[in-house]
A and B are shown apart, each in its own frame.
Chain A
Amino acid sequence: MTAIHTMTLAQLSEELAKKTLSSVELTQYFLDRIEKLDKKYNSFITVTAEHALEKAKQCDAVRAQNQAGPLTGLPIAHKDIFCTKGIKTSCGSKMLDNFISPYDATMVSQVDAAGMVMLGKTNMDEFAMGSSNETSFYGPVHNPWDLNTVPGGSSGGSAAAVAARLTPASSGTDTGGSIRQPAALCGVTGLKPTYGRISRYGMIAFASSLDQGGPFAQTAEDVAMLLQAMSGFDPKDSTSVDVPVPDYVALLNQSLSGKIIGIPKEYFKQGLDREVEKRVQDAIATFEKLGARIQEVSLPTSPLSISVYYVVASAECSSNLSRFDGVRYGHRCDNPKDLEDLYKRSRSEGFGDEVKRRIMVGTYALSSGYYDAYYLKAQKVRKLISDDFKRVFEQVDFLIGPTTPTPAFKIGEKANDPVSMYLSDIYTIATNLAGLPGLSIPAGFVNDLPVGVQLTGKHFDEGLLLNAAHCYQQQTDWHKRIPKSCA
């Protein structure tokens, strides 16, 4: 048998089914890897070893009664933004360092019901605000491909943990690229589903009209298995969409012959690294070999997406984060002299700089006299961005472009310049503004650092994106490369 950590979820699922391996053995194996290796990466905030082994034991019992499903007994790590009952849920913040969630997020319950074993909670940018995992209260995550570089963010721990093969699967959230950008920088497969596909109940809110949870794994096939378990209508989330969940795994092997792939010309300007561009062109050529036709398209308003995003996301975050008041849960300052002092000091002590900055930008944009100039104007430009996609999707089946303009940058390189950090999300943000699904897959290396390509689809067309990515991964082996630091 090949080394356990190099195997995909699909392969591990077969081993469990053949009973060459028990879930308890598998779980212990990954817990040992985390224990031995995660000092280098800092990808976990909390490891739930006892809980995991208990669940694994139950999964083995379920299997003994021949009632196991495809995911029964397989490990997963959850981003620490998802509430987990009885387990610390910090959201990467001092504000919630003492928060033990009284309930499970719907996505967590669904994955648990599918039989997956939670190994722990992964590190992330504070309240998911960041593109490098450097804003975490628990310290930065180190990219397994080069420990001096960032893993991307905000789901940096989830991406790094899969890249270092500390877990075969993880969950993340994506508000402006927070699944796709770290997936690209860490060389793993990550999907941001359509807005409303996966329940947001129990997923700590950052920008409610943009936030969407999704899976990370080594392959598109594994992501399809995970998406199957995570998706579905949830009456507890008023933005959850009641659209049937297709059998994503069954769709993986369809031919790409005759599919039309759009190449947005704007995504090949705006500071795209020339070597990254070559890898993307190679990927496009592979898709052509697979039978797809390529067509250049234009998303003329997309260059404004970052500006729109920092109005919409900041405004929504300033509203969402007003719930942290030091009264009901979370950090509370010592000896408040009055109610205002309680609010102000609890929040100022509990939040880090980036979170405060975004709350303040949002507060300014929503303050009296500025609403029309900022929020309303941004929502109008957002409509133009969304209309660009609608027009393009009348001509093509899905889009391909780079996920990020450059490979992973050095830790500290952009930490003091928020605007240059924001620009690293130039290709991912428009997808969130339009509520579309986006998938990043490994497509090669530049200077030994992974490069990702991004597939963007129509609403609820995750099946086609995963199908295309699966076909690509049958022709390439970028997704099988493993960083030396975790060997």
Chain B
Amino acid sequence: MPLDRQEVEKIAHLARLTLNEQQIPFYASNISKILDLIAQINEADTDNIVPMAHPMEHLTQRMREDKVTETDQRELFQAIAPSTEAGLYLVPKVIDEQ
């Protein structure tokens, strides 16, 4: 099932990626081939099959007690951040000035 340019651009946007003009046909062709490979799953009859939710079937995700276990390591973590000020992570302005 070949994807067209618009579909590729839409997926890229949803994934918060940008592709330049020359890359689009390359991605469209490769992703279409991968989707063809994936389409083989339709060969299997899965009526009445319960989807596998965990690779260890009889197990489920463990819950932990609702207790604070982490200590405050803000300075350590922010030391590797691209841009911070007064203990806050900086991003471009998201609210317009009136």
Contacts and interface: CB of A to CB of B under 8 A. Distances in A.
Interface residues of B, number: 50
A347 B16 contact: yes
A110 interface: no
Interface stretch (A6-14, A373-381, A395-403): A373-381
Contact of A307 (B38, B52, B79): B38
A235 B64 contact: yes
Contact of B92 (A209, A339, A434): A339
B68 interface: no
B30 to A, nearest CB: 6
Contact of A336 (B34, B54, B57, B92): B92
A100 interface: yes
B38 A380 contact: no
Nearest to B82: A332
Contact of B53 (A210, A322, A332, A379): A379
A345 B18 contact: yes
Interface in B45-73: 46, 49-57, 59, 61-62, 64, 73
Interface string A226-255: 000000000100110100000000000000
B32 to A, nearest CB: 10
Contacts of B77: 102, 328-329
A363 B62 CA distance: 27
A407 to B, nearest CB: 23
A100 B27 CA distance: 32
B31 A361 contact: yes
Given A329-B80, A359-B15, A311 B38 contact: yes
B56 A307 contact: no
Interface stretch (A34-42, A181-189, A267-275, A382-390): A382-390
Contacts of B80: 98-100, 102, 329
Contacts of B62: 238-239
A238 B16 contact: no
B30 A357 contact: yes
Nearest to A325: B16
A172 B38 CA distance: 27
A307 B81 contact: no
Interface of B: 8, 11-12, 14-19, 27, 30-31, 33-35, 37-44, 46, 49-57, 59, 61-62, 64, 73, 76-77, 79-83, 89, 91-94
Given A196-B56, A363-B11, 7 more contacts: A195-B56, A307-B37, A308-B41, A347-B15, A367-B14, A377-B42, A380-B50
Interface of A: 98-100, 102, 194-196, 209-210, 235, 238-239, 241, 301, 304, 306-308, 310-311, 318, 322, 325-330, 332, 336-345, 347-348, 351, 356-357, 359-361, 363-365, 367, 374, 376-384, 386, 418-419, 422, 432-435, 459
17 contacts: A98-B80, A102-B76, A102-B80, A196-B59, A239-B54, A239-B61, A239-B62, A310-B37, A328-B77, A337-B92, A342-B91, A344-B18, A347-B16, A364-B31, A364-B35, A380-B52, A432-B55
